[in-house]
Amino acid sequence: MKAPDVRVAVCAADPVTSAGLVGILSQDTTIAVVAGQDADVLVAAEDPAGQDLPVLRRAVSELGALPGILIAGPLPPSGHRWAADAGVRCVLPHRAARPDRLIAEVMAARSAPTASADRLAAGYGALTEGPALFHPREINVLRLIAEGKDTAEIGAVMGYSQRTIKNILHHAQRRLALRNRAEAVAEAIRAGLI
């Protein structure tokens, strides 16, 4: 059996996020999730609302500076400087940390050049700017789904037919490559829209 190309340590703000990251990274046979000291790359996931980087700080104090990927909410300039000093090669917003993107960034991190604070901030900004994740009408539909309403109830509340509600959902799911309503609601929650 071939040894993995990259050994990754995962540190997260909560056990659910940690388990999700381990699951995503374990999908790729060239990546092995390992205990900290044996790692080539660090993946640290902060609380999306936090700005002090406690997860990254703890990981660096335990493991030392490793090339890393930081999944975080918006950071102040001092946060980008600290992340760059800690070896972070890329800062991903939570909504951009999709499996394919995360695996690609992990594979690139080990050989990527060190990043400056300005480069980290610019990369993060490029991933958060651009078109809105969901349109206002889609957000309203997703909010009502999250409240437990079915298509008929949502149509009645919004003044649309059931078919229109289904089309609104279908277009959002297709545009954002989401498999079902649950994923769409989860994405809206992660983005802080509902």
More confident residue, 28 or 132: 28
pLDDT, residue 155, reads 94
Average pLDDT taken over every residue of the chain: 86
Percent helix, strand, coil in the chain, to 5, is: 55, 10, 35
Which backbone phi and psi does 71 adopt, to 5 degrees?
A: -105, 115
Cα pseudo-dihedral 146, 27, 13, 130, rounded to 10? -60
pLDDT, residue 1, reads 52
Q: Kindly state the tokens that stand for 88.
A: 């972070």
Work out the average pLDDT over 10-39: 90
The lowest-confidence range among 46-50, 58-62, 87-91, 126-130 is 126-130
Distance, in Å, from the CA atom of 34 to the CA atom of 7, rounded to the nearest integer, reads 6
Residue whose pair of structure tokens reads 């539909």 in the numeric block: 141
Checking if the pLDDT of 22 tops 90, the result is yes
- CA 32 to chain centroid: 19
pLDDT, residue 123, reads 77
Instruction: Please check whether residue 48 is in contact with residue 15, taking contact to mean a CB–CB distance below 8 angstroms.
Output: no
Q: Distances in Å between the alpha carbon of 114 and those of 39, 49, 83, 151, 189?
A: 17, 26, 11, 49, 32
Flag whether the pTM goes above 0.75.
no
Work out the average pLDDT over 148-177: 91
**Residue 29, exposed/middle/buried by CB under 10 A (0-12, 13-18, 19+)?**
exposed
Distance, in Å, from the CA atom of 50 to the CA atom of 48, rounded to the nearest integer, reads 6
- CA 138 to chain centroid: 21
Residue whose pair of structure tokens reads 């949502």 in the numeric block: 154
pLDDT, residue 142, reads 92
Q: Kindly state the tokens that stand for 50.
A: 């936090």
pLDDT for 70-111, tens place per residue? 999 888 888 889 999 999 999 988 878 888 889 988 998 888
What stretch of H or E contains 53?
none
